[in-house]
Structures are given as structure tokens and as C-alpha cells.
Amino acid sequence: MTQTLILLFHPDIGKSKANAALQSAARTVPDTLVVDMQRRYPDGVIDMHTDGAAEARALLDADRIVLQFPVQWYSTPPLLKAWQDAVLTRMYYIHSDTEGKRLAGTPLMIAATAGNIEAAYGRGGANHFTMDELLAPLEATARRCALPWHPPHLVFRADKLEPAELAAAKDSYVHVLKTFIAATPAHNRKAA
């Protein structure tokens, strides 16, 4: 059985409109596991050794990975950065041969929400930078870790979506996830 692992990094999913809807839609996709990382690490602290070992196992068990989060102040939520620092540092620098090299080749996709309209994310827009530029550090990380980068799934006006727009966003996410899954067959890894 193949598995898609969706790591949800939202600081308060109970107050979310778009990310809450997207995660509920993702849970309907077969062989997909959605993990609320804020619930797992409510204090925002991820121990590189104990927590990192569990996170590494989950990543190595997955056939593809999705990082889902709201864009906050042109960046990722703090917990996602803490996760990168603890888990990826462990996997690629401390346990490179047994973890990092085995994770290499696992496809990665970003699913992000943003509060402004799409046109605001461009040279002439209110935010002056494109979403591709804002997500470049994640793409650089994926490339450094040899995780094939797939085009991000983006939802704009996240907190302003009307019910019909929210339903369309959910349908779109399910479609994108199914397309991602179909395009990325199970990844064969060397045993540790």
C-alpha cells in the first residue's frame, strides 16, 4: 500500500477556515494520512533525537510528502521551521546514510494558503514578490535533500472564502492530491 503523508502546520486549526477545510478534504483521499503537527507539538519544541527519530520513521514510511500550512508574514509558521531544523538536520547531517539517503527521491508538494488575492503576489502587487519567490527556501531545501519538487497547491483569500469558494477549494485540493499520487508511484528505498 502506498501512503501520502500530509504534515499540517497550522498554529490553531480550530480558528482556521481554509486549512481546516483542506485537511478535512485530504482525509477523504485513500491511503492519505494527515497529521496535525501543532497538536503533536503544542509547545513548538521538537527534540532532534527522540521526536526526530519518530518523525524520520514516518517520513521513511511515506511514498510522498505534502507540507500544508498558511503563509504567515511571507514565511512558514514557526513550527514548520522547527521541524525542518530538528528532523531534516537529524536525517541529513547526523544520520545521513541510514535516514537522509533513504528519504532521497521521495516526492514533495507544498499546499499553502495565503490571505491576499493572487494578484497581490507579484512585482506590481501589494506584496511585491511572487509565491514562487516566497516558497523558494522550501524548494531549495527539497532540492538539497533530493526530494523531487512538485508544483505547489495554493489557495488565496484563505480567510475570506465564501462557502461555494471553500467547497471549490476542497474539491481542487482533492483533485491535486489524487493527481500528485498518480504521478508519483511508490518509492522503493534501500533498507537501513
pLDDT tens digits, one per residue of 76-124: 999 999 999 999 999 999 999 999 999 999 999 999 999 999 999 988 8
- CATH class of the domain defined by 4-183: alpha beta
In this predicted structure, what is the pLDDT of residue 192? 47
State the pLDDT confidence band at 189, using cuts at 50, 70 and 90. Answer: low
In this predicted structure, what is the pLDDT of residue 24? 97
Residues 6+ positions from 187 with CB-CB distance below 8 Å: 63, 64, 105, 106, 107
> Model-level pTM greater than 0.85?
yes
In this predicted structure, what is the pLDDT of residue 6? 98
Task: Output DSSP code: residue 114.
Answer: -
Distances 114 to 50, 51, 103, 172 between C-alpha atoms, Å = 33, 29, 29, 16
Q: Cell for 178?
A: 489524487
CA 156 to chain centre: 16
Averaged pLDDT, 172-183: 97
In this predicted structure, what is the pLDDT of residue 185? 81
- Pairing type for strands 108-113 and 149-155 reads parallel
Euclidean distance between CA atoms 161 and 157, whole angstroms:
6
- Helix, strand and coil in the chain, % to nearest 5: 45, 15, 35
State the pLDDT confidence band at 188, using cuts at 50, 70 and 90. Answer: low
Q: Which contiguous run of DSSP H or E holds residue 67?
A: strand 64-70
pLDDT tens digits, one per residue of 35-74: 999 999 999 999 999 999 999 999 999 999 999 999 999 9
130 and 122 Cβ atoms separated by less than 8 Å = yes
